C-alpha cells in the first residue's frame, strides 16, 4: 500500500493538471490516472478527464501518446517537454508489478487462478470549486477495492485483512498523513489553473428537419440534431409560438463522438397547424445567448428543386439569347464578330477569303478585354500580327476573354532563388531588372511553375531595353540562368524553349529551330505549315525581315497538350513549340544581356483540360457579336440585370 500511494501520487498530479482540458461549470469534474497491470500480461498507464482520455503510455515504442484534441491543446508534448512524463509512467508500471506480487502472495489464491491476477490503482481529484475538493488514492485487486486514502476522512482505510494492517501502520505515521494533505492541497491549488487554461468551447452545428411517422397520432416528427459541441453540457428546448413544449418530446443522451466532441438529438411529434411557429432553442456555453432555429415547413428536397430550376431557367435564358443572335446573324448575313478590314486584304481570291473569314476574327478579338483593362487600345490596322492570327480552341478563347486573376497572385512573381545574381527583383517580385554587367548572359524564371492545364502570362518588356539575345519562353527547374559572354540562355539547352524577340527565331537545345511567326500566307489554312519547327544553320538566309515585337506579349502554355505559343497585338500566333514534356513542372523564363532591362511578369488566367462551360461560351459569343466598341452598351439589351452584370464581369 505504501509503495502504491507514493509511486502513483508522485506522477499523476503533474501529468493530469498539465494535460487535462475542459470548460467548467458548477458541475462536478474529475481527473484520474489509471495504472493497471496483469500478472502475465501488459501494463497500462492512462490519464482521463471527465471520462475523456488525455494520454496513454506506449511502452513498446517508449513514448507518451497524447489524445487531447487540437482545439484544446495544439501540442501537449511541447508543453510537457521539461517533464519526464514517460519516465514517471515507467516508474508507476514497475510499482504496479511490485504491488501485484505482494497482493498475490497475501491472497494465497489457488493455482487455477494464477493467470487471473489483475491490479489497478487510481489517483482521483474531484472538484466543483476550490472550496469543494476531494482527493482519493485507491487500489483494486481483481476488480475489488482493497484499500484507499480519502481526504474527506483524512486517513487510510483497508478492506482486506492484510490491507487493514497496512492502513493502520500508515495512519500511525504522521509524515505519511502530512504528505497526503499536501497532495490534497496540490489538487486544490491547481483547480483555478484548470478553470483558466481549460475554458475552451466549440460551437455546435444545428440541423432541423422533419420525417414522416407511420404509427402515431401525429403525422410527422421534427428532429433537432446538434452536432460537434464542447463541453458536454447542453440544453435543447422546443418552443411553440415562443412557449416551451414538453409533451411528445424525447431526447437522446449526449453522445460522444470519440474526439471530445458530442452530439445530441431531440424529437418532437407534431401535427402542423396554420400560422404556428415551431422553434428549436439551443443553450450552450459557446453561445452568449440561446440560439433559435425555426422549422421551415418546406422540405429540403423542394428547396433543392427550386434552386436547380432557377439555375436551369438562367442557363436556358442564356442559350435562348445566343440562339436569337445566331438566327439574326444568319438572316442578315452579319458575322458573329465585326471583321477588321485587314481580313479582306489577305487575298484577292474570293475562295480563300471565304475560307479565312471564320478564323481571322478569332485572333483579332481574343484579347479585347486586355486592352480595356490595361488602358491600351486595340492594335491599329497597320499592325503586322492580325493577318498572322490563327484559329484558337474554344478553351483558349474563353481563357483569353475571362477576367484576369488578382495582381498579387504568387504565379506573377519572379523567383528570388532561381535567377542570375545580376537580376534584381522589386519588392513585390513582379519586376526583374538586369544590372549593367558586361560579358554576361543572365536569366530569371517564375517562382511558381505548372504541370497541367492551360495558362496565360503577360510579359511587359520595353523594346528599347532589349538589345540582342532578348529571349522569353519556358524552362524546367534546372535551366542555367547565368553564363559568361553573350548567349541565348532560355532555349540554350535541352531544359528550356525560347523566342528571341529581336530576330523572331525559336531556340531549343542551343540551336535555332525556326522563325516565329512563320511567313505570311494568303490563307490561314496554309499558315499552319509555318509553325512546324525548321532547322537553321549558319548558311541559312532569312528572306523576311524580323517583325518588331511590341512591349506586351502574352505567353500561352498548354501543359496538357505540351505546346507553347504567344499572343501579340491581340492575335494568337499559333504553336511555337510542341511535344513539350508532360507532367513536368514548367516555368516562364526570360534571359537578357542588356543592362537596365526591366521585365514585368503577371499571371492572367488559366483553365483545366475540361471543356468550357456552356454559359462561358454563350457569354463569349455575345461579347464578340457586340464588339469592343459596343460592349459598354449591354444595359440597353433586353436582358435581366443579372445577365447584364455577367457579361460585364466576364469581360
Inform me whether the pLDDT recorded for 357 exceeds 60.
no
Query: Mean pLDDT across the stretch 523-552?
Result: 53
Write out pLDDT tens, residues 166-223.
999 999 999 999 999 998 998 888 787 777 666 788 999 999 988 877 666 777 889 9
Alpha carbons 519 and 245: distance in angstroms, whole number: 85
| Calculated CA dihedral for residues 451, 455, 460, 461, nearest 10 degrees | 50
Alpha carbons 624 and 618: distance in angstroms, whole number: 10
pLDDT of residue 214: 66
Residues 6+ apart with CB under 8 A from 578: 533, 561, 562, 563, 564
Give the count of beta carbons closer than 10 Å to the beta carbon of residue 614. 12
pTM recorded for the entire structure: 0.42
**C-alpha dihedral sign at 478, 481, 483, 486:** positive
Classified as helix, coil or strand, 117 is coil
Looking at per-residue confidence, does 530 or 485 come out higher? 485
Give the count of beta carbons closer than 10 Å to the beta carbon of residue 193. 11
Query: Mean pLDDT across the stretch 30-36?
Result: 87
User: What's 112's DSSP letter?
Assistant: G
List, in order of start, the domains of the chain with CATH numbers: 2-197 (3.30.500.10), 205-297 (2.60.40.10), 312-388+613-650 (no CATH), 406-518+526-604 (2.60.120.920)
User: What's 544's DSSP letter?
Assistant: S
Inform me whether the pLDDT recorded for 35 exceeds 70.
yes
State the Rg of the chain over Cα.
Answer: 39
The 3 state secondary structure assigned to 146-163 is EEEEECCCCEEEECCHHH
Inform me whether the pLDDT recorded for 66 exceeds 80.
yes
Rounded to the nearest integer, the mean pLDDT of the chain is: 78
pLDDT of residue 380: 52
Write out pLDDT tens, residues 382-420.
677 888 878 777 778 877 877 788 878 889 999 988 999
Q: Which residues of 493-519 are buried (b: 16+ CB within 10 A; e: fewer)?
A: bebbbbbbbeebbbbbeebbbbbbbbe
CB half-sphere exposure, 428, CA atoms < 13 A = 10
pLDDT of residue 299: 60
Alpha carbons 365 and 628: distance in angstroms, whole number: 8
Alpha carbons 255 and 508: distance in angstroms, whole number: 66
Inform me whether the pLDDT recorded for 82 exceeds 70.
no
Relative orientation angle of helices 174-197 and 161-171, to the nearest 10 degrees: 90
Instruction: Please tell me the least confidently modeled range out of 5-9, 134-138, 517-521.
Output: 5-9
- Check if the beta carbon of residue 268 is closer than 8 Å to that of residue 278: yes
* Cα→Cα distances 360→92, 328, 363, 550, 633, Å: 84, 21, 6, 20, 25
Instruction: Please tell me the least confidently modeled range out of 103-117, 316-330, 560-574.
Output: 103-117
Grid cell locating 332 = 442578315
Phi-psi sector, 584: left (phi>0), alpha (psi -120 to 50), beta: beta
Inform me whether the pLDDT recorded for 589 exceeds 80.
yes
pLDDT of residue 103: 84
- Check if the beta carbon of residue 149 is closer than 8 Å to that of residue 5: yes
Amino acid at each position: 500500500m505504501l509503495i502504491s500511494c507514493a509511486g502513483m501520487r508522485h506522477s499523476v498530479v503533474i501529468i493530469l493538471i498539465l494535460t487535462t482540458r475542459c470548460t467548467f461549470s458548477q458541475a462536478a469534474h474529475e481527473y484520474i490516472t489509471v495504472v493497471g497491470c496483469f500478472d502475465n500480461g501488459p501494463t497500462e498507464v492512462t490519464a482521463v478527464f471527465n471520462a475523456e482520455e488525455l494520454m496513454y503510455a506506449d511502452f513498446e515504442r517508449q513514448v507518451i501518446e497524447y489524445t487531447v484534441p487540437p482545439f484544446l491543446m495544439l501540442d501537449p508534448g511541447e508543453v510537457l517537454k521539461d517533464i519526464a512524463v514517460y519516465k514517471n509512467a515507467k516508474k508507476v508500471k514497475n510499482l504496479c508489478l511490485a504491488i501485484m506480487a505482494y497482493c498475490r502472495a497475501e491472497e494465497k489464491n489457488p493455482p487455477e487462478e494464477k493467470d487471473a491476477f489483475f491490479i489497478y490503482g487510481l489517483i482521483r481529484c474531484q472538484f466543483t470549486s476550490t472550496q469543494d475538493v476531494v482527493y482519493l488514492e485507491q487500489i483494486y485487486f481483481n476488480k475489488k477495492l482493497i484499500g484507499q486514502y480519502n481526504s474527506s476522512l483524512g486517513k487510510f482505510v483497508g478492506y482486506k485483512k492484510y490491507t487493514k494492517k497496512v492502513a493502520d501502520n500508515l495512519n500511525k505515521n504522521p509524515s505519511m498523513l502530512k504528505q497526503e494533505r499536501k497532495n490534497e492541497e496540490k489538487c486544490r491549488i491547481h483547480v483555478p489553473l484548470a478553470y483558466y487554461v481549460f475554458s475552451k468551447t466549440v460551437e455546435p452545428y444545428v440541423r432541423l428537419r422533419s420525417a414522416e411517422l407511420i404509427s402515431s397520432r401525429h403525422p410527422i416528427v421534427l428532429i433537432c440534431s446538434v452536432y460537434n459541441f464542447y463541453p458536454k453540457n447542453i440544453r435543447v428546448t422546443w418552443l411553440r409560438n415562443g412557449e416551451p413544449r414538453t409533451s411528445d418530446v424525447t431526447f437522446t443522451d449526449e453522445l460522444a463522438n470519440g474526439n471530445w466532441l458530442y452530439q445530441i438529438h431531440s424529437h418532437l411529434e407534431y401535427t402542423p397547424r396554420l400560422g404556428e411557429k415551431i422553434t428549436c432553442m439551443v443553450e450552450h456555453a459557446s453561445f452568449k445567448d440561446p440560439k433559435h432555429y425555426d422549422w421551415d415547413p418546406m422540405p429540403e428536397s423542394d428547396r433543392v428543386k427550386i434552386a436547380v430550376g432557377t439555375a436551369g431557367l438562367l442557363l436556358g435564358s442564356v442559350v435562348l439569347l445566343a440562339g436569337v443572335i445566331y438566327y439574326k446573324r444568319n438572316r442578315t448575313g452579319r458575322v458573329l464578330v465585326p471583321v477588321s478590314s485587314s481580313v479582306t486584304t489577305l487575298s484577292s481570291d474570293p475562295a480563300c477569303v471565304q475560307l479565312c473569314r471564320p478564323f481571322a476574327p478569332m485572333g483579332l478579338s481574343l484579347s479585347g478585354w486586355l486592352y480595356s483593362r490595361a488602358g491600351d487600345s486595340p492594335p491599329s490596322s497597320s499592325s503586322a500580327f492580325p493577318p498572322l492570327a490563327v484559329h484558337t480552341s474554344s478553351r483558349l478563347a474563353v481563357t483569353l476573354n475571362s477576367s484576369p486573376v488578382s495582381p498579387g497572385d504568387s504565379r506573377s512573381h519572379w523567383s528570388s532563388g532561381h535567377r542570375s545574381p545580376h537580376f534584381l527583383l522589386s519588392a513585390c517580385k513582379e519586376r526583374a531588372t538586369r544590372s549593367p554587367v558586361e560579358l554576361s548572359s543572365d536569366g530569371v524564371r517564375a517562382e511558381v511553375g505548372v504541370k497541367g492545364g492551360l495558362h496565360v502570362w503577360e510579359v511587359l518588356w520595353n523594346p528599347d531595353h532589349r538589345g540582342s539575345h532578348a529571349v522569353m519562353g519556358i524552362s524546367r527547374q534546372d535551366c542555367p540562368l547565368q553564363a559568361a559572354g553573350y548567349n541565348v540562355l532560355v532555349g540554350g539547352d535541352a531544359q528550356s524553349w525560347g523566342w528571341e524577340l529581336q530576330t523572331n527565331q525559336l531556340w531549343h537545345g542551343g540551336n535555332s529551330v525556326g522563325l516565329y511567326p512563320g511567313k505570311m500566307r494568303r490563307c490561314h489554312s496554309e499558315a499552319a505549315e509555318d509553325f512546324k519547327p525548321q532547322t537553321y544553320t549558319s548558311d541559312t538566309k532569312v528572306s523576311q525581315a524580323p517583325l518588331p515585337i511590341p512591349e506586351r506579349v502574352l505567353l500561352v502554355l498548354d501543359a496538357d497538350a505540351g505546346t507553347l505559343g504567344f499572343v501579340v497585338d491581340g492575335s494568337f500566333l499559333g504553336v511555337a513549340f510542341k511535344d513539350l514534356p508532360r507532367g513536368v513542372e514548367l516555368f516562364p523564363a526570360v534571359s537578357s544581356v542588356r543592362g537596365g532591362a526591366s521585365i514585368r511578369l503577371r499571371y492572367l488566367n488559366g483553365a483545366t483540360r475540361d471543356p468550357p462551360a456552356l454559359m462561358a461560351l454563350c457569354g463569349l459569343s455575345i461579347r464578340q457579336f457586340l464588339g469592343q466598341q459596343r460592349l459598354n452598351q449591354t444595359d440597353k439589351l433586353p436582358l435581366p440585370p443579372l445577365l447584364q452584370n455577367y457579361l460585364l464581369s466576364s469581360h
